[in-house]
Chains A and B, each alone.
Chain A
Amino acid sequence: MKITMAHGSGGESTSALIKDVFSKYFKNEILDKLEDSAVVSGSSKIAVTTDSFVVTPLVFPGGDIGRLSVCGTVNDILMSGATPKYITCGAVLEEGLDIDLLDKIIASMAETAKEAGVIIVTGDTKVIENRGAEPGLIINTSGIGFIDETKESVGPYNLKDGDKLIITGNLGDHHAAILGCRMGIENNIKSDCAPLGDFVGKLKDADIRVHAMRDVTRGGLGTVLNEFASASCCNIELSEEALPVEPSVKEFCGLLGLDPMYMGNEGKAIISVHKDDAERALSLIKSAKYGENAAIIGEVIKNNKPDADNNVILNTKLGGKRIIGLMYGEGLPRIC
């Protein structure tokens, strides 16, 4: 069965699609009422975020657009120090989309939401005409998380002199998996797409002094660290030796002239913690789900001069230094 324009009519076909696919997987007390708005209990301070997901192919090694759309939003909430509670699902379906494929994606979304401890409380579907050869699917998710006001706030402006930077796993997996798929290159690279609540919760429970946290998505680690450095007016020094990259991803990057430093991930965070808490934080992350390859990769050096450049500096394996600038272009492969 394929999606037709009738599935977007608002009539019988729409109801059937919602009942047979979406409601089947997204079962919960709030959503099941199918009201115009979901009414939920709250907290005095909340974090709200929204993100739209467009990815080709819809299913890729290590995940699919459904899992991605939950992880992306949940991780954004986690990174602001909040506990994710509710998410929404807006699905824009292209005419011709295979309903079995949609079913698989929605099931994966529900499963990921369960894993991440969030409830999908409201949703919407629309059908649009097919815009290209392969019928696509766009998912938007918004999320709400509760903020514990007794905890210190975290943010990119909050890096402190001497902080240690922890990356929670290997760089570049998602980007390499998607690119490999699109180019038909056979390898064993899997997307790292995952909700990161487990280690974030562990750090919170252990009262680790986390100063800044960011999920390392599009633009990669290089981009995030540049934002940290300029928001906190500091230099960041990294050790190339310490950067974790899976050998198959390294080889893939070498082949195409890509730099894992600027490649997107969907299940990695960079965390700036008080230097005295760093080792404890590292072992907590390593013991948590999706944190086994975590590593301390660098440190923060505060500038005293207000007009100084705020640089991210990489100490190369060879013994040199180079500046990790912002990413330019689209990370295109080299020519020879």
Chain B
Amino acid sequence: MIGADINAIAEQLKNYDGEEVRIMEVCGTHTASISENGIPSMLSPKIKLISGPGCPVCVTVTAVIDKLVELSMREDTVVLTFGDLIRVKGTNKSLADAKADGAHVKMVYSPMETVTMAEKDPDHTYVFAAIGFETTAPVYANVLNEAVNKGLDNVKLLTSLKTMPQVIRWVVNNGGGIDGFIAPGHVAAITGSDIFKALSEELGLPFVVSGFEGEQLLLTIYALLRMKGNKGIKNLYKSVVTSEGNIKAKEMVDKYFEPSDASWRGMGKIQGSGLVLRKEYEKFDAGSRDLDEDHMPPGCSCASVLVGKIKPSDCPMFGKMCTPDNAHGACMVSTEGSCYNYFVSGRK
């Protein structure tokens, strides 16, 4: 399909006048790319794009943030994190607040820095805030592998790892009538596109695996429009995604992690939707099990936004009490969050 006349496709998407179609992009990087490319302005009002629960920061429950804050305040512990997470509020504080109070919080660009820092400073325990999906799990497995090989016992992970198929099923069963899914390209690169094939069969909905360029997303939306009402899977990201995925990465993840139930912000506990450290690697766990509590500020509609029941701009707090500088929910903090993207790109 690549090589198809993109202008003709753009024209058809603009002029589409059939039944309303609701398409969900599950991955936060897709959400960001859709906004960056101005794709909503190119679609007929009858094609609705809905952002799903695929921004890792956005679906993290407050208990995880609270635990990280608590760890960062210990004398002998340093918490390392990606930038996005640092400003997300827990029940009382974000890691940025804790840092301002003197807690040990460092923003890093690669989880592997955990190993380098721990090696240099044996007097402190270095905890990485290991949140993410199937995409980032292999990176954390590599960190552990390195720590094991080097015999370091001052490296730990606080994990909040989640898996896509289970939450997609949950969204279909509890959400707001989705007609098709833009399947997450990065996740599929690891897992393989086959996991979405099975899901498509089960749910009777179409899935298209997409890359992240604007043109690819237009083609994907067009493909989903054509597939509406039918199950089926298309892989439009063949340069990166195979049907069986990255076997080495999957083996690495299997070595250190096992499936578990996981708590999702606004959605509660979803069976089998997460990964936790295997029992034999328990000593690397900074206390990740049973972090289920999820504190929602009054009025926050994160739960409905994350499953596509309402648009970010339908939340009564959107753009008024809740802005990127004063975010009440994580969806407004992360650059991949649906609320953030709606807000900064003026999407309505």
Contacts and interface: CB of A to CB of B under 8 A. Distances in A.
A264 B336 CA distance: 22
Interface stretch (A104-112, A151-159, A325-333): A325-333
B132 interface: yes
A326 B324 CA distance: 10
Nearest to A320: B38
B325 A328 contact: yes
A319 interface: yes
B264 interface: no
Contacts of B85: 335
A314 interface: yes
Nearest to B323: A328
B345 A323 contact: yes
Q: Which secondary structure dominates chain A's binding surface?
A: loop
A308 interface: no
Interface string B122-161: 0000000001110110000000000000000000000000
A131 interface: no
Interface in A181-226: 183
Contacts of B132: 335-336
A305 interface: no
B323 to A, nearest CB: 7
Interface string A296-321: 00000000000000010011111111
Interface residues of B, number: 44
B29 interface: yes
Q: Which of A259, A314, A320 has the most CB of B within 10 A?
A: A320
A212 to B, nearest CB: 23
Contact of B82 (A183, A314, A333): A333
A293 to B, nearest CB: 23
B56 interface: yes
A9 B64 CA distance: 51
Contact of B109 (A256, A259, A316, A328): A256
Interface string A255-289: 01101000000000000000000000000000000
Interface in A135-177: none
B298 interface: no
Given A323-B346, A334-B29, A183 B42 contact: no
A334 B84 contact: yes
Contacts of B135: 336
B133 A320 contact: no
A322 B36 CA distance: 7
Nearest to B82: A335
B324 to A, nearest CB: 3
B173 interface: no
Contacts of B346: 311, 322-323, 325
A263 to B, nearest CB: 14
Contacts of B83: 330, 332-333, 335
Contact of A328 (B28, B107, B324): B324
A334 B109 contact: no
Contact of A336 (B133, B215, B333, B340): B133
Contact of B38 (A256, A316, A330, A333): A316
Given A316-B36, A322-B346, A323-B345, A329 B56 contact: no
A316 B343 contact: no
B324 A329 contact: yes
Contact of A322 (B35, B56, B133, B340): B35
Contacts of B32: 257, 334
Given A318-B214, A320-B37, A335 B344 contact: no
Given A332-B83, A336-B132, A316 B214 contact: yes
A318 B343 contact: no
B310 interface: no
Contacts of A317: 37, 214
A334 B336 contact: yes
Contacts of A334: 28-29, 32, 84, 334-336
B39 A318 contact: yes
A316 B10 CA distance: 13
A320 B57 contact: no
Interface string B314-348: 00000000011100000001111000100111110
B22 interface: no
Contacts of A325: 343-346
B218 interface: yes
A328 B339 CA distance: 13
Q: Which of B28, B86, B346 has the most CB of A within 10 A?
A: B346
A76 to B, nearest CB: 25
Nearest to A184: B109
B117 to A, nearest CB: 13
B104 interface: no
Interface string B88-117: 000000000000000000010100000000
A311 B171 CA distance: 35
B38 A314 contact: yes
Contacts of A315: 38
Contact of A332 (B29, B40, B84, B218): B84
Interface in B172-221: 186, 214-215, 218
A315 B42 CA distance: 11
Contact of B57 (A316, A322, A329, A335): A335
15 contacts: A311-B346, A316-B214, A320-B214, A322-B38, A322-B346, A322-B347, A323-B346, A325-B345, A329-B324, A329-B325, A330-B83, A332-B83, A332-B86, A335-B56, A335-B131
Q: 9 smallest A-B Cβ distances: which pairs?
A: A320-B38, A323-B346, A332-B83, A328-B324, A318-B214, A322-B38, A316-B38, A325-B344, A321-B41
Given A320-B41, A332-B84, A335-B132, 4 more contacts: A328-B323, A334-B32, A335-B85, A335-B336
